[in-house]
Amino acid sequence: MAIKYNRRRFVKTVAAGVGSAFLLPTRGADVIVWRFFTNAEARLVDAITEQIIPADQDPGARDAGVINFIDKQLASRLRRHQQVYRVGLAGVEETSRVMFKEDFAALKAEQQVEVLKALESGKAKGETWRKQSSSAFFRLIRDHTMAGFYGGPQHGGNRGYASYKMLGLDYPQIIGQNRYRRK
């Protein structure tokens, strides 16, 4: 016996099924929303970048969406740095545990700064840094943080033109491709 469905009934049934899927419990599942990072790596990068450009009276790296920029770029044009990030982020956690017996994101801000200073100086502790330079990794993530904060929002960072507003700049008007209005 075939059930006849008209278009309206079909749409209602599908909508109810899709809508109820969002109401089901995830049972603690850690849904990944990143292109490159795992959720744990994203939390770590977010904490690192927020120490590099902290919020004060102006937005910091977190508010400007720097993590989105870095994630987007590592999944596309900066793909060549993926392995450096995987190893480097593991190294940051290792150094944090050696120095303070805690994951980096769980540390107080002052402790996070101490870990980053150890990385920057090349004196970070941990086996990871025998394979890769901690200072080179620090420079890379610092440079990507700056690019995400000060670059154009179309690349995934500088949400709400945070850095432009901080610097007192108007949103730069770009008309066409390398064509500007003549005065």
Q: What digits encode the pLDDT tens for the residues 83-115?
A: 999 999 999 999 999 999 999 999 999 999 999
Contact 71, 178 (CB under 8 A): no
The SS3 assignment for 133 reads coil
- Tell me the C-alpha distance between 97 and 33, whole Å: 26
pLDDT digits over 40-88, tens only?
999 999 999 999 989 888 888 898 889 999 999 999 999 999 999 999 9
Name the H helices within the chain: 7-23, 39-52, 66-74, 82-100, 109-121, 134-150, 162-167
Q: Where are the domains of the chain?
A: 33-153
Question: In 38-54, which positions are buried (b, 16+ CB within 10 angstroms) versus exposed (e)?
Answer: eeebbbbbbbbbbbbbe
Supply the pTM of this predicted model: 0.75
